[in-house]
Structure 1
Protein backbone atom coordinates (compact mmCIF):
# COMPACT_ATOMS: atom_id res chain seq x y z
CA UNK A 1 0.00 0.00 0.00
CA UNK A 2 1.40 3.39 -0.92
CA UNK A 3 1.50 6.14 1.63
CA UNK A 4 -1.08 8.23 -0.20
CA UNK A 5 -3.80 5.62 0.33
CA UNK A 6 -3.23 5.74 4.09
CA UNK A 7 -4.22 9.39 4.39
CA UNK A 8 -7.60 10.10 5.99
CA UNK A 9 -9.29 11.19 2.77
CA UNK A 10 -8.34 8.01 0.92
CA UNK A 11 -10.23 5.77 3.36
CA UNK A 12 -13.18 8.08 4.19
CA UNK A 13 -13.94 9.16 0.61
CA UNK A 14 -13.88 5.52 -0.49
CA UNK A 15 -16.65 4.50 1.94
CA UNK A 16 -20.32 4.51 0.91
CA UNK A 17 -21.05 6.47 4.12
CA UNK A 18 -19.20 9.55 2.88
CA UNK A 19 -21.56 9.72 -0.09
CA UNK A 20 -24.60 9.13 2.13
CA UNK A 21 -23.65 11.95 4.53
CA UNK A 22 -23.18 14.48 1.73
CA UNK A 23 -25.83 13.30 -0.70
CA UNK A 24 -28.03 16.38 -0.26
CA UNK A 25 -25.38 18.89 -1.37
CA UNK A 26 -26.85 21.67 -3.45
CA UNK A 27 -26.11 20.60 -7.00
CA UNK A 28 -28.38 23.25 -8.51
CA UNK A 29 -26.14 25.87 -6.90
CA UNK A 30 -23.09 24.00 -8.19
CA UNK A 31 -24.47 24.06 -11.73
CA UNK A 32 -25.08 27.82 -11.53
CA UNK A 33 -21.44 28.11 -10.45
CA UNK A 34 -20.27 26.04 -13.45
CA UNK A 35 -22.37 28.19 -15.81
CA UNK A 36 -21.04 31.43 -14.33
CA UNK A 37 -17.45 30.24 -14.26
CA UNK A 38 -17.27 28.90 -17.81
CA UNK A 39 -18.96 32.07 -19.12
CA UNK A 40 -16.66 34.33 -17.15
CA UNK A 41 -13.54 32.49 -18.32
CA UNK A 42 -14.91 32.45 -21.88
CA UNK A 43 -13.74 28.86 -22.37
CA UNK A 44 -13.91 28.10 -26.09
CA UNK A 45 -16.58 25.80 -27.48
CA UNK A 46 -15.41 22.19 -27.04
CA UNK A 47 -12.60 23.55 -24.84
CA UNK A 48 -10.72 21.14 -22.60
CA UNK A 49 -11.32 21.19 -18.83
CA UNK A 50 -9.50 19.17 -16.15
CA UNK A 51 -11.63 18.60 -13.02
CA UNK A 52 -9.22 17.89 -10.13
CA UNK A 53 -10.55 15.77 -7.26
CA UNK A 54 -13.74 15.12 -9.22
CA UNK A 55 -15.21 12.51 -6.84
CA UNK A 56 -17.96 10.54 -8.56
CA UNK A 57 -17.86 12.96 -11.47
CA UNK A 58 -21.11 14.86 -11.12
CA UNK A 59 -19.59 18.25 -12.01
CA UNK A 60 -17.48 16.78 -14.80
CA UNK A 61 -20.65 15.28 -16.29
CA UNK A 62 -22.45 18.63 -16.09
CA UNK A 63 -19.51 20.50 -17.65
CA UNK A 64 -19.45 17.91 -20.44
CA UNK A 65 -23.19 18.49 -21.02
CA UNK A 66 -22.37 22.18 -21.64
CA UNK A 67 -20.25 21.09 -24.60
CA UNK A 68 -16.78 20.92 -23.06
CA UNK A 69 -14.22 18.15 -23.41
CA UNK A 70 -13.72 17.09 -19.78
CA UNK A 71 -11.26 14.90 -17.89
CA UNK A 72 -12.05 14.15 -14.25
CA UNK A 73 -9.34 12.85 -11.94
CA UNK A 74 -9.52 11.64 -8.36
CA UNK A 75 -7.46 9.57 -5.94
CA UNK A 76 -10.49 7.45 -4.98
CA UNK A 77 -10.54 4.30 -7.11
CA UNK A 78 -14.14 3.56 -6.12
CA UNK A 79 -15.34 7.03 -7.10
CA UNK A 80 -13.60 6.81 -10.48
CA UNK A 81 -14.94 3.29 -11.05
CA UNK A 82 -18.44 4.73 -10.50
CA UNK A 83 -17.79 7.73 -12.76
CA UNK A 84 -16.46 5.64 -15.66
CA UNK A 85 -19.98 4.47 -16.57
CA UNK A 86 -20.63 8.03 -17.82
CA UNK A 87 -17.60 8.23 -20.10
CA UNK A 88 -18.01 9.16 -23.74
CA UNK A 89 -15.80 10.54 -26.53
CA UNK A 90 -15.45 13.90 -24.75
CA UNK A 91 -15.64 12.78 -21.10
CA UNK A 92 -13.10 10.57 -19.39
CA UNK A 93 -12.11 9.71 -15.84
CA UNK A 94 -8.78 8.70 -14.38
CA UNK A 95 -7.38 7.69 -10.98
CA UNK A 96 -4.65 10.25 -10.39
CA UNK A 97 -2.98 12.11 -7.51
CA UNK A 98 -3.55 15.82 -8.15
CA UNK A 99 -0.19 16.76 -6.64
CA UNK A 100 1.49 14.95 -9.55
CA UNK A 101 1.58 16.40 -13.09
CA UNK A 102 -1.15 15.17 -15.44
CA UNK A 103 0.15 14.41 -18.96
CA UNK A 104 -2.03 16.78 -21.00
CA UNK A 105 -2.85 20.49 -21.30
CA UNK A 106 -6.21 22.20 -20.83
CA UNK A 107 -8.06 25.49 -21.36
CA UNK A 108 -9.06 25.39 -17.69
CA UNK A 109 -8.19 23.37 -14.59
CA UNK A 110 -10.84 23.38 -11.85
CA UNK A 111 -10.35 22.37 -8.23
CA UNK A 112 -13.82 22.80 -6.77
CA UNK A 113 -15.71 22.68 -3.47
CA UNK A 114 -12.78 22.75 -1.02
CA UNK A 115 -10.90 19.76 -2.38
CA UNK A 116 -7.52 21.32 -1.64
CA UNK A 117 -5.43 21.34 1.54
CA UNK A 118 -5.92 17.69 2.52
CA UNK A 119 -2.27 16.73 2.36
CA UNK A 120 -0.28 15.99 5.51
CA UNK A 121 2.85 16.84 3.57
CA UNK A 122 2.89 20.63 3.08
CA UNK A 123 4.98 20.34 -0.08
CA UNK A 124 2.07 18.58 -1.83
CA UNK A 125 0.03 21.80 -1.68
CA UNK A 126 2.70 23.65 -3.65
CA UNK A 127 3.20 20.75 -6.06
CA UNK A 128 -0.58 20.66 -6.72
CA UNK A 129 -0.50 24.32 -7.81
CA UNK A 130 2.60 23.62 -9.90
CA UNK A 131 0.77 20.67 -11.50
CA UNK A 132 -2.19 22.93 -12.32
CA UNK A 133 0.20 25.48 -13.83
CA UNK A 134 1.86 22.82 -15.99
CA UNK A 135 -1.51 21.50 -17.21
CA UNK A 136 -2.65 24.90 -18.51
CA UNK A 137 -2.45 25.80 -22.17
CA UNK A 138 -0.98 29.21 -23.09
CA UNK A 139 -4.41 30.80 -22.72
CA UNK A 140 -5.66 28.55 -19.92
CA UNK A 141 -6.91 29.46 -16.43
CA UNK A 142 -6.63 27.69 -13.09
CA UNK A 143 -9.49 27.90 -10.57
CA UNK A 144 -9.37 26.93 -6.90
CA UNK A 145 -12.69 27.14 -5.07
CA UNK A 146 -11.96 26.95 -1.34
CA UNK A 147 -13.86 27.71 1.85
CA UNK A 148 -13.39 31.21 3.25
CA UNK A 149 -11.60 30.21 6.45
CA UNK A 150 -12.47 33.44 8.32
CA UNK A 151 -16.17 32.92 7.66
CA UNK A 152 -16.02 29.21 8.52
CA UNK A 153 -14.27 29.82 11.85
CA UNK A 154 -16.72 32.61 12.78
CA UNK A 155 -19.68 30.34 11.99
CA UNK A 156 -18.34 26.99 13.21
CA UNK A 157 -21.06 24.77 14.70
CA UNK A 158 -19.13 22.86 17.40
CA UNK A 159 -21.43 19.85 17.41
CA UNK A 160 -24.53 18.50 15.70
CA UNK A 161 -26.21 15.29 14.55
CA UNK A 162 -27.29 14.78 10.96
CA UNK A 163 -29.56 11.83 10.18
CA UNK A 164 -29.44 10.48 6.63
CA UNK A 165 -30.89 7.16 5.49
CA UNK A 166 -31.46 6.17 9.11
CA UNK A 167 -27.83 6.78 10.10
CA UNK A 168 -27.12 9.34 12.86
CA UNK A 169 -23.90 11.10 11.92
CA UNK A 170 -22.44 12.81 15.01
CA UNK A 171 -20.30 15.72 13.82
CA UNK A 172 -17.83 17.72 15.93
CA UNK A 173 -15.99 20.67 14.40
CA UNK A 174 -12.92 22.52 15.61
CA UNK A 175 -10.13 24.82 14.47
CA UNK A 176 -6.82 23.47 15.70
CA UNK A 177 -3.15 23.72 14.73
CA UNK A 178 -3.95 25.51 11.48
CA UNK A 179 -6.58 22.98 10.40
CA UNK A 180 -10.37 22.93 10.24
CA UNK A 181 -11.23 19.53 11.70
CA UNK A 182 -14.47 17.59 11.59
CA UNK A 183 -14.80 14.39 13.62
CA UNK A 184 -17.59 12.14 12.37
CA UNK A 185 -18.85 9.13 14.31
CA UNK A 186 -21.80 6.87 13.56
CA UNK A 187 -23.12 3.34 13.72
CA UNK A 188 -24.17 1.52 10.57
CA UNK A 189 -24.55 -2.09 9.47
CA UNK A 190 -23.86 -3.30 13.00
CA UNK A 191 -20.51 -1.52 13.27
CA UNK A 192 -19.20 1.68 14.85
CA UNK A 193 -17.25 4.05 12.62
CA UNK A 194 -15.10 7.10 13.28
CA UNK A 195 -13.59 9.35 10.65
CA UNK A 196 -11.85 12.68 10.74
CA UNK A 197 -11.76 15.30 7.99
CA UNK A 198 -8.78 17.66 8.18
CA UNK A 199 -8.45 20.60 5.84
CA UNK A 200 -5.64 23.12 6.08
CA UNK A 201 -7.07 26.51 7.09
CA UNK A 202 -5.60 28.42 4.13
CA UNK A 203 -6.30 32.14 3.92
CA UNK A 204 -6.07 34.22 0.76
CA UNK A 205 -2.61 35.34 1.96
CA UNK A 206 -1.51 31.71 2.28
CA UNK A 207 -2.64 31.02 -1.29
CA UNK A 208 -0.91 34.16 -2.53
CA UNK A 209 2.36 32.89 -1.01
CA UNK A 210 1.89 29.48 -2.70
CA UNK A 211 1.06 31.13 -6.04
CA UNK A 212 4.19 33.24 -5.84
CA UNK A 213 6.34 30.18 -5.12
CA UNK A 214 4.72 28.29 -8.01
CA UNK A 215 5.16 31.24 -10.36
CA UNK A 216 1.48 31.72 -11.15
CA UNK A 217 -0.43 35.01 -11.22
CA UNK A 218 -3.63 35.60 -9.29
CA UNK A 219 -6.06 37.39 -11.62
CA UNK A 220 -9.34 37.52 -9.71
CA UNK A 221 -10.90 36.58 -6.37
CA UNK A 222 -14.64 35.97 -5.86
CA UNK A 223 -16.60 35.33 -2.67
CA UNK A 224 -19.51 33.15 -3.82
CA UNK A 225 -20.85 31.00 -6.65
CA UNK A 226 -22.50 34.02 -8.29
CA UNK A 227 -18.97 35.44 -8.65
CA UNK A 228 -19.57 38.42 -6.40
CA UNK A 229 -16.72 40.35 -4.79
CA UNK A 230 -14.73 38.62 -2.06
CA UNK A 231 -15.04 40.05 1.46
CA UNK A 232 -12.59 38.56 3.97
CA UNK A 233 -15.10 38.21 6.83
CA UNK A 234 -18.50 37.75 5.19
CA UNK A 235 -17.93 35.76 1.98
CA UNK A 236 -18.74 32.06 2.19
CA UNK A 237 -16.22 31.05 -0.48
CA UNK A 238 -12.74 31.97 -1.63
CA UNK A 239 -12.67 31.47 -5.42
CA UNK A 240 -9.35 32.26 -7.06
CA UNK A 241 -8.65 32.56 -10.79
CA UNK A 242 -5.00 32.38 -11.80
CA UNK A 243 -2.67 31.56 -14.65
Structure 2
Protein backbone atom coordinates (compact mmCIF):
# COMPACT_ATOMS: atom_id res chain seq x y z
CA UNK A 1 0.00 0.00 0.00
CA UNK A 2 1.39 3.38 -0.99
CA UNK A 3 2.32 5.78 1.81
CA UNK A 4 1.19 9.18 0.53
CA UNK A 5 2.00 12.45 2.28
CA UNK A 6 -0.67 15.10 1.75
CA UNK A 7 0.21 18.56 0.49
CA UNK A 8 -0.48 20.31 3.76
CA UNK A 9 1.12 23.32 5.38
CA UNK A 10 3.51 21.04 7.18
CA UNK A 11 4.61 18.80 4.28
CA UNK A 12 8.20 19.71 5.13
CA UNK A 13 7.84 18.43 8.69
CA UNK A 14 6.94 14.99 7.32
CA UNK A 15 9.39 14.70 4.41
CA UNK A 16 12.41 16.21 6.17
CA UNK A 17 11.91 13.82 9.08
CA UNK A 18 12.21 10.72 6.91
CA UNK A 19 15.56 8.97 6.34
CA UNK A 20 14.79 9.02 2.61
CA UNK A 21 15.19 12.80 2.39
CA UNK A 22 18.78 12.45 3.60
CA UNK A 23 19.44 9.47 1.30
CA UNK A 24 18.24 11.35 -1.78
CA UNK A 25 20.39 14.39 -1.04
CA UNK A 26 23.44 12.64 0.43
CA UNK A 27 25.72 13.66 -2.45
CA UNK A 28 25.53 17.41 -1.93
CA UNK A 29 28.80 19.19 -2.64
CA UNK A 30 30.48 19.67 0.75
CA UNK A 31 33.50 21.41 -0.78
CA UNK A 32 31.29 23.98 -2.48
CA UNK A 33 29.36 24.55 0.77
CA UNK A 34 32.59 25.09 2.71
CA UNK A 35 33.95 27.54 0.14
CA UNK A 36 30.66 29.44 0.28
CA UNK A 37 30.92 29.74 4.06
CA UNK A 38 34.52 31.02 3.77
CA UNK A 39 33.59 33.59 1.11
CA UNK A 40 30.52 34.69 3.04
CA UNK A 41 32.13 35.11 6.47
CA UNK A 42 35.09 36.93 4.91
CA UNK A 43 32.76 39.26 3.03
CA UNK A 44 30.70 40.03 6.14
CA UNK A 45 33.88 40.51 8.21
CA UNK A 46 32.22 38.95 11.24
CA UNK A 47 33.94 39.50 14.60
CA UNK A 48 36.36 36.86 15.85
CA UNK A 49 34.39 34.15 17.68
CA UNK A 50 31.24 35.90 16.45
CA UNK A 51 27.81 34.35 16.93
CA UNK A 52 25.86 32.84 14.02
CA UNK A 53 22.34 31.42 13.89
CA UNK A 54 22.00 28.76 11.18
CA UNK A 55 18.25 28.92 10.55
CA UNK A 56 16.69 25.73 9.15
CA UNK A 57 20.04 23.99 9.57
CA UNK A 58 18.97 20.45 8.68
CA UNK A 59 21.53 17.96 9.99
CA UNK A 60 23.93 20.82 10.61
CA UNK A 61 26.53 20.54 7.85
CA UNK A 62 26.94 24.31 7.48
CA UNK A 63 26.77 24.93 11.23
CA UNK A 64 29.45 22.32 11.96
CA UNK A 65 31.79 23.82 9.38
CA UNK A 66 31.17 27.37 10.58
CA UNK A 67 32.02 26.21 14.09
CA UNK A 68 35.31 24.81 12.77
CA UNK A 69 36.10 28.37 11.62
CA UNK A 70 35.88 29.41 15.30
CA UNK A 71 32.41 30.92 15.22
CA UNK A 72 29.95 30.40 18.04
CA UNK A 73 27.10 28.68 16.19
CA UNK A 74 23.52 27.80 17.02
CA UNK A 75 21.70 25.55 14.56
CA UNK A 76 17.91 25.34 14.61
CA UNK A 77 15.44 23.35 12.54
CA UNK A 78 11.83 22.19 12.71
CA UNK A 79 12.86 18.59 12.00
CA UNK A 80 13.28 16.70 15.25
CA UNK A 81 15.12 13.89 13.46
CA UNK A 82 17.65 16.27 11.92
CA UNK A 83 18.32 18.00 15.23
CA UNK A 84 18.63 14.65 17.04
CA UNK A 85 21.33 13.69 14.51
CA UNK A 86 23.10 17.06 14.74
CA UNK A 87 23.27 17.03 18.54
CA UNK A 88 26.08 14.46 18.47
CA UNK A 89 28.35 17.24 17.17
CA UNK A 90 27.56 19.75 19.93
CA UNK A 91 30.33 21.36 21.97
CA UNK A 92 30.80 24.49 24.08
CA UNK A 93 30.43 26.73 21.01
CA UNK A 94 28.02 24.65 18.89
CA UNK A 95 24.43 23.91 19.90
CA UNK A 96 21.36 22.58 18.09
CA UNK A 97 17.68 23.01 18.95
CA UNK A 98 14.27 22.36 17.44
CA UNK A 99 12.77 25.72 16.47
CA UNK A 100 10.16 27.17 14.09
CA UNK A 101 11.74 29.83 11.86
CA UNK A 102 8.54 31.90 11.95
CA UNK A 103 9.26 32.72 15.60
CA UNK A 104 12.05 34.76 17.13
CA UNK A 105 14.79 32.75 18.81
CA UNK A 106 15.59 33.73 22.39
CA UNK A 107 19.00 35.26 21.55
CA UNK A 108 20.45 37.77 19.09
CA UNK A 109 23.41 37.11 16.80
CA UNK A 110 26.12 38.75 14.71
CA UNK A 111 24.65 36.95 11.70
CA UNK A 112 21.62 34.84 10.80
CA UNK A 113 22.15 32.48 7.85
CA UNK A 114 19.27 30.80 6.02
CA UNK A 115 21.01 28.56 3.52
CA UNK A 116 20.41 26.21 0.59
CA UNK A 117 16.84 27.21 -0.26
CA UNK A 118 15.52 26.65 3.26
CA UNK A 119 12.80 29.23 2.73
CA UNK A 120 9.44 29.54 0.98
CA UNK A 121 7.93 26.31 2.30
CA UNK A 122 4.83 27.88 3.78
CA UNK A 123 1.44 27.81 2.10
CA UNK A 124 0.49 31.23 3.46
CA UNK A 125 2.58 34.16 2.29
CA UNK A 126 2.16 35.82 5.69
CA UNK A 127 4.30 33.04 7.17
CA UNK A 128 7.18 33.95 4.86
CA UNK A 129 6.95 37.52 6.11
CA UNK A 130 6.89 36.26 9.71
CA UNK A 131 10.12 34.35 9.05
CA UNK A 132 11.76 37.47 7.57
CA UNK A 133 10.70 39.56 10.57
CA UNK A 134 12.00 36.87 12.95
CA UNK A 135 15.41 36.99 11.24
CA UNK A 136 15.54 40.75 11.77
CA UNK A 137 14.61 40.34 15.44
CA UNK A 138 17.37 37.76 15.86
CA UNK A 139 20.07 40.19 14.69
CA UNK A 140 22.02 42.33 17.12
CA UNK A 141 22.64 46.02 16.31
CA UNK A 142 25.61 45.19 14.04
CA UNK A 143 24.25 41.90 12.71
CA UNK A 144 23.72 40.77 9.09
CA UNK A 145 21.01 38.55 7.67
CA UNK A 146 21.68 36.19 4.77
CA UNK A 147 19.13 34.28 2.69
CA UNK A 148 20.55 31.85 0.14
CA UNK A 149 17.63 31.06 -2.16
CA UNK A 150 17.30 29.66 -5.67
CA UNK A 151 16.96 32.12 -8.53
CA UNK A 152 13.41 31.19 -9.46
CA UNK A 153 13.61 32.88 -12.88
CA UNK A 154 16.54 30.61 -13.83
CA UNK A 155 15.02 27.51 -12.22
CA UNK A 156 11.65 27.87 -13.97
CA UNK A 157 13.31 28.51 -17.33
CA UNK A 158 15.54 25.44 -16.92
CA UNK A 159 13.14 23.12 -15.09
CA UNK A 160 13.82 19.41 -15.71
CA UNK A 161 10.31 17.87 -15.78
CA UNK A 162 11.36 14.26 -15.17
CA UNK A 163 14.42 12.65 -13.63
CA UNK A 164 15.41 9.28 -12.20
CA UNK A 165 18.14 9.00 -9.58
CA UNK A 166 19.38 5.82 -7.92
CA UNK A 167 20.89 6.20 -4.44
CA UNK A 168 21.73 3.32 -2.09
CA UNK A 169 19.78 0.92 -4.29
CA UNK A 170 16.62 3.05 -4.23
CA UNK A 171 15.35 4.42 -7.55
CA UNK A 172 13.86 7.87 -6.96
CA UNK A 173 11.49 9.03 -9.69
CA UNK A 174 11.27 12.82 -9.63
CA UNK A 175 8.74 15.03 -11.41
CA UNK A 176 9.00 18.84 -11.37
CA UNK A 177 6.40 21.44 -12.34
CA UNK A 178 5.16 24.94 -11.57
CA UNK A 179 1.69 25.22 -10.06
CA UNK A 180 -0.11 28.01 -8.18
CA UNK A 181 3.09 30.00 -7.73
CA UNK A 182 5.02 27.06 -6.23
CA UNK A 183 7.77 24.93 -7.75
CA UNK A 184 6.70 21.37 -7.02
CA UNK A 185 8.85 18.27 -6.88
CA UNK A 186 7.02 14.93 -6.69
CA UNK A 187 9.25 12.13 -5.42
CA UNK A 188 8.18 8.49 -5.77
CA UNK A 189 10.13 5.35 -4.94
CA UNK A 190 9.84 1.80 -3.65
CA UNK A 191 11.81 0.44 -0.70
CA UNK A 192 11.53 -3.03 0.83
CA UNK A 193 8.42 -3.75 -1.20
CA UNK A 194 6.61 -0.59 -0.08
CA UNK A 195 5.73 2.35 -2.32
CA UNK A 196 6.30 5.90 -1.11
CA UNK A 197 5.25 9.28 -2.46
CA UNK A 198 6.35 12.69 -1.18
CA UNK A 199 6.00 16.26 -2.41
CA UNK A 200 8.36 19.19 -2.00
CA UNK A 201 6.95 22.59 -2.82
CA UNK A 202 8.74 25.89 -2.59
CA UNK A 203 7.17 29.24 -3.37
CA UNK A 204 8.66 30.78 -6.52
CA UNK A 205 9.85 33.90 -4.70
CA UNK A 206 11.53 36.42 -6.99
CA UNK A 207 13.94 39.19 -6.10
CA UNK A 208 11.09 41.71 -6.27
CA UNK A 209 9.05 39.54 -3.89
CA UNK A 210 11.91 39.54 -1.38
CA UNK A 211 12.26 43.30 -1.79
CA UNK A 212 8.57 43.61 -0.92
CA UNK A 213 9.02 41.43 2.20
CA UNK A 214 12.00 43.54 3.23
CA UNK A 215 10.06 46.76 2.79
CA UNK A 216 7.25 45.44 5.01
CA UNK A 217 9.77 44.26 7.63
CA UNK A 218 11.75 47.53 7.54
CA UNK A 219 14.86 45.70 6.36
CA UNK A 220 17.67 47.22 4.29
CA UNK A 221 18.96 45.10 1.39
CA UNK A 222 22.73 45.60 1.23
CA UNK A 223 23.93 43.31 -1.53
CA UNK A 224 22.85 40.56 -3.94
CA UNK A 225 24.98 37.69 -5.28
CA UNK A 226 24.27 35.04 -7.91
CA UNK A 227 26.45 32.11 -6.86
CA UNK A 228 28.50 30.64 -4.02
CA UNK A 229 31.63 32.48 -5.16
CA UNK A 230 29.71 35.73 -4.55
CA UNK A 231 29.66 36.80 -8.18
CA UNK A 232 27.18 39.44 -9.29
CA UNK A 233 23.53 38.40 -9.62
CA UNK A 234 22.06 38.17 -13.12
CA UNK A 235 18.34 37.48 -13.35
CA UNK A 236 18.51 35.17 -16.38
CA UNK A 237 21.75 33.26 -15.75
CA UNK A 238 22.45 33.10 -12.00
CA UNK A 239 21.50 29.82 -10.31
CA UNK A 240 21.32 31.33 -6.82
CA UNK A 241 19.79 34.44 -5.26
CA UNK A 242 21.89 35.34 -2.22
CA UNK A 243 20.62 38.32 -0.25
CA UNK A 244 22.61 40.26 2.35
CA UNK A 245 20.55 42.56 4.57
CA UNK A 246 20.10 44.15 7.97
Report the TM-score range of the alignment, normalised by the length of the smaller protein: over 0.9
**Shift of residue 123 of structure 1?**
1.1
Indicate yes or no: 2:93 matched with 1:90. yes
> Is the 2:182–2:201 Cα contact (8 Å) retained in structure 1?
yes
The structure 1 residue matched to 2:124, chosen from 116, 121, 124, is: 121
> Is the 2:64–2:89 Cα contact (8 Å) retained in structure 1?
yes
For 1:182, what is the secondary structure of its paired residue?
Answer: strand
Indicate yes or no: 2:148 matched with 1:145. yes
After superposition, give the CA deviation of every residue in 1:68-102 in whole Å (9 maximum; x if it has no partner).
Answer: 00000000001000000100000000000001110
Instruction: Give 1:64's aligned residue.
Output: 67
How has the CA–CA distance of structure 1 residues 6 and 204 changed in structure 2, closer, same or farther, with 3 Å as cutoff?
closer
Instruction: Give 1:53's aligned residue.
Output: 56
Taking the aligned partners of 1:120 and 1:190, their CA distance within structure 2 comes to 32
The structure 2 residue matched to 1:167, chosen from 166, 170, 174, is: 170
Name the TM-score, length of structure 1 as normaliser: 0.97
Indicate yes or no: 2:193 matched with 1:190. yes
Taking the aligned partners of 1:111 and 1:102, their CA distance within structure 2 comes to 14
**Shift of residue 6 of structure 1?**
6.4
Taking the aligned partners of 2:173 and 2:193, their CA distance within structure 1 comes to 16
**Which runs of structure 1 show a deviation greater than 4 angstroms over 4 or more consecutive aligned residues?**
none
**Shift of residue 186 of structure 1?**
0.2
Unaligned 5+ segments in structure 1 are none
For 2:214, what is the secondary structure of its paired residue?
Answer: helix
Taking the aligned partners of 2:66 and 2:141, their CA distance within structure 1 comes to 21
Instruction: Give 1:230's aligned residue.
Output: 233
Indicate yes or no: 2:103 matched with 1:103. no
Indicate yes or no: 2:71 matched with 1:76. no
Query: What RMSD, in angstroms, separates the aligned Cα atoms of the two structures?
Result: 0.9
Unaligned 5+ segments in structure 2 are 1-7
> Is the 2:224–2:242 Cα contact (8 Å) retained in structure 1?
yes
**Shift of residue 175 of structure 1?**
1.0
Tell me how many residue pairs correspond in the alignment. Answer: 239
